[in-house]
Structure formats: structure tokens, C-alpha cells
Amino acid sequence: MGGMKEMMIEHQEDVALASDYLVNKGVLQKCEYHGEIFGGGAWKLEGEFWRTAMADRNRGDTGPVPWATKIEAREYTDLLKEAYEEHCGDECSYCAKLMAD
């Protein structure tokens, strides 16, 4: 049972890496002041995105997603979907709060 927590932490790190990748691709946005990632929501990424994502994965250690080479393709796509859905919202919540105050 001891490894369970580590696996969860590792998963969160993978989701964070997937999120950064989506930001780099312009799929998600990152607030330049707070570092919060947003712009995701219900899954709507297209086939063209997946071709790019898989090509990037195939580039291995020299590509933009070296972390993806150690996981299954299926896990990779699941991570990208999870990262996208996790960062739903049209704006940084910190900025939104500041605007409201």
C-alpha cells in the first residue's frame, strides 16, 4: 500500500507536465502573473492535435515531451485529456478575484 501515495503524486506530476505541454501548444493558457493554467473544459481537441502530439512523443528525449516516452500511448492521451479538463475556465481565477474586488 506504501506505493499508492507515490503513484498518485507521480500522476499529478505527469498531469502538470501534460498541462505545460498544452500551454506550449497554445491549447491552454497560462496567466503570466499567477501561473494559473486555464482555457480547457469539455474535450474538443481535434485529430490534427493528436497527430502532432503523437509525433512529438515519437521524437523521444529530444522532443518537447520526453516524459511521455516512458508511458503508454493510451496513458499519454489520457493525461492530455485530464490536463485539459482539469484546467477548465475562461480566465485565471486569481485575476477574476482581483477584478471582482
Residues at the interface with Zn ion (CB under 5 A)? 31, 33-34, 92, 94-95
Minimum distance, C-beta of residue 35 to Zn ion, in the bound complex (Å): 8
Amino acid, res. 30: K
Give the residue with the Cβ less far from Zn ion, 16 or 45: 16
Give the residue with the Cβ less far from Zn ion, 68 or 92: 92
Residue number of the CB closest to Zn ion reads: 92
Minimum distance, C-beta of residue 32 to Zn ion, in the bound complex (Å): 8
Which residues lie below 8 Å from residue 83, measured CB to CB, with a gap of 6+?
A: 15, 16, 18, 19, 21, 22, 28, 40
CB 22 within 8 A of CB 28: yes
Q: Which three cell numbers stand for residue 43?
A: 474535450
Minimum distance, C-beta of residue 97 to Zn ion, in the bound complex (Å): 9
